[in-house]
Chains A and B, each alone.
Chain A
Amino acid sequence: MTTVVEVNGLTKRFGKFTAVDDVSFRVEENTIYGLLGRNGAGKTTMMQLLTGQQFASDGSIRVFGQSPVENAAVLGNICFIKESQAYPDDFKPRHVFESAPWFFQNWDAEFANRLISEFRVPVNRRIKKLSRGQLSAVGVIVGLASRAPLTFFDEPYLGLDAVARQIFYDRLLEDFGEHPRTVILSTHLIDEVSALLEHVLVIDDGKLIIDENADTLRGSATTISGTKSTVEAFVGKRTVLHREGIGGLSSITVEKLDSADRTAAASAGLELGPVSLQQLIVRKTSIPEAEFGAQS
């Protein structure tokens, strides 16, 4: 495995407010990362730091082995699609797609054209007049067709309808298969992207609280359902992540079960179920679930 990004003790302060607080992690090559967290958790600031758009207050950032700040050799391999991306005044989508190949060596015009028709982007309408979803689609198309070795998507889903989200999801996986690259995707809609992610970074209040392989994370908890007394008896002194119940039925989420546990649970007539990534993160971080599901 090759490390593409290495962050050590990274801190970013805006006056007295600490947006990113002593964060360290690594990003491996040709992997899809999810940078998850609530609105305002520091996701965008983190991405701006990694792309040299923001200046770190403390700590070090190495992207392709070098500092990204004002480093053309590094930045030339990066595409950063921001949710709130500013476009030049009176630009139309066709201006964006016309100029993108000048900046991205791997730009695939054919792929871009296919995406434009799939997302139904009106290329000759002023960007100011586009809907929220169409605006997001412009960014998504640039992010996909640029095939930059390191691609950042900041909240790419915003305003996209269900069909468009599925297209993004399918095309990303498809193209990723043919042209492996490193993708870092930030979102607060965790379930939407959960199947896409290979590695999860969760930040809350500027701190990195989860840095885990997505499959490991998914297997790290199980929901046990059954009658209240049976469930309670089985759970015993295990660490409970979440507890809910209706009447005589109960459903409790506990940490990883081994195969002996599973057999025991099955013979006790209990039902074992997977925990979604979103629920897991919500429960592990005790962030109220409502903060994630709602699309802003």
Chain B
Amino acid sequence: MTALAPALPASRSNESARRVFAVIKLHFVNRFQILYMPLIVLGAIFLLNLAIWWIIVAASNGAVSGIHLGYSGAVSYIYVYGIVIAVQAISRTFPFSLGFGVTRRDFYLGSTLAFVALSFGFAVVLTIMSVIEIATNGWGVGGRMFAPLWFTNSFWLLRFVMYFCAFLFLLFIGTAGAAFYVRWRATGLTAFFAIIAVIILASVAYFTLGHHWDVVGRWIDQSGPVGITVWLLLPAAISAIAGFFVLRRATPKN
């Protein structure tokens, strides 16, 4: 008769934190892809925008400037990139981490914290750029890329909160979608979009049939842009929690 091995080393109390931290580091080990690449592209987009503004201003002999140039919206690239990062981190890093002996729980906790850190970092970059943009009166030519038009007179911290919440929202929607994909493949992804469509449709039906749109209007009025983006944390949190339970029973596919 052979002995059954309780041959496991006694787990230290900080073991769990160490493993979660290892997952966070794993998400950032390829620094070029997750940090430098989006910033380089953002920088290139910015320089292109700057050139275009300059051409317009120069060609119109200064007749067009400031508000007429409008808000370029070019910054949305980095938001889309954020979703891509989240989707890839869940769909590719998940099966990889499991091979390294990571539990789903530790993987998800580490990933969540990594996404919060990433959102924070991107929000800091956008905030700094918006502060410079406002201080230089639109980079000297009245261009607007980082600070939303209706928001140029705001306190920088409010803009930071907006950027931060927007990133969290997008990253966690991406996380939940990718978790559905990892768990149920294409069927899961279709179901995920179907669920979102049904939620949106149900809300529209509720407000339309019940003639509640005035409530929505008042709410938007009262909340303001910052309030509305802070409210994005609610769907972000729901996505994060849903993603956890979906991934908890997922198996890495070949």
Q: Which residues of A contact B (CB under 8 A)?
A: 1-4, 6, 26, 28-29, 44, 48, 51-55, 62, 64-66, 70-82, 84-92, 95, 98-100, 102-104, 148-149
Scoring A29, A51, A80, A89 by chain B CB atoms within 10 A of each residue's CB, the highest score goes to A89
Residues A29 and B99 in contact, CB atoms below 8 Å apart: no
Residues A102 and B251 in contact, CB atoms below 8 Å apart: no
Our pick among B4, B96, B101, B251 for the contact of A76 (Cβ within 8 Å) is: B101
Scoring A87, A91, A103 by chain B CB atoms within 10 A of each residue's CB, the highest score goes to A103
Shortest beta-carbon distance from B19 to chain A in Å: 6
Our pick among B2, B96, B103 for the contact of A88 (Cβ within 8 Å) is: B96
Residues A88 and B100 in contact, CB atoms below 8 Å apart: no
Chain B hits for A75, CB < 8 A: 101-103
Shortest beta-carbon distance from B20 to chain A in Å: 10
Could you list some 9 contacts between A and B, CB below 8 A? A4-B5, A26-B2, A48-B251, A72-B16, A72-B106, A75-B103, A78-B101, A86-B95, A95-B30
Residues A64 and B7 in contact, CB atoms below 8 Å apart: yes
Chain B hits for A6, CB < 8 A: 4
Contacts A72-B11, A90-B30, A91-B30 given; indicate if A2 touches B19 (C-beta within 8 A).
no
Shortest beta-carbon distance from A53 to chain B in Å: 5
Shortest beta-carbon distance from B18 to chain A in Å: 9
Chain A hits for B106, CB < 8 A: 72
In the bound complex, CA of A76 to CA of B252 (Å): 18
Residues B8 and A73 in contact, CB atoms below 8 Å apart: yes
Scoring B7, B11, B104 by chain A CB atoms within 10 A of each residue's CB, the highest score goes to B7
Chain B hits for A64, CB < 8 A: 5-8
Please give me the residue from chain A that is nearest to B28 by CB atom: A99
Interface segment out of the listed B85-93, B125-133, B161-169, B227-235: B85-93
With an 8 Å Cβ cutoff, the count of chain B residues facing the other chain is: 38
Chain B hits for A77, CB < 8 A: 8, 101
Contacts A29-B7, A82-B99, A87-B96 given; indicate if A76 touches B19 (C-beta within 8 A).
yes
Residues 110-169 of B at the A interface (beta carbon under 8 Å) = none
Our pick among B26, B105, B252 for the contact of A53 (Cβ within 8 Å) is: B252
In the bound complex, CA of A181 to CA of B94 (Å): 26
Residues 216-254 of B at the A interface (beta carbon under 8 Å) = 248-249, 251-252, 254
Chain A hits for B254, CB < 8 A: 44, 82, 84
Residues B30 and A103 in contact, CB atoms below 8 Å apart: no
Residues A65 and B8 in contact, CB atoms below 8 Å apart: yes
Interface string of B1-39 (1 = CB under 8 A from A): 011111110010001100100100110011011000000
Residues B4 and A85 in contact, CB atoms below 8 Å apart: no
| Residue B98 lies at the interface, judged by CB distance under 8 Å to chain A | yes
Given A29-B5, A88-B30, 8 more A-B residue pairs with CB atoms under 8 Å apart are: A3-B2, A3-B3, A29-B7, A51-B101, A82-B254, A85-B96, A88-B92, A89-B92
Chain B hits for A82, CB < 8 A: 99, 254
In the bound complex, CA of A86 to CA of B88 (Å): 11
Residues B33 and A89 in contact, CB atoms below 8 Å apart: yes
In the bound complex, CA of A149 to CA of B12 (Å): 18
Our pick among B6, B32, B103 for the contact of A70 (Cβ within 8 Å) is: B103
Chain B hits for A62, CB < 8 A: 4
Residues A102 and B22 in contact, CB atoms below 8 Å apart: yes
Chain A hits for B252, CB < 8 A: 48, 53, 86
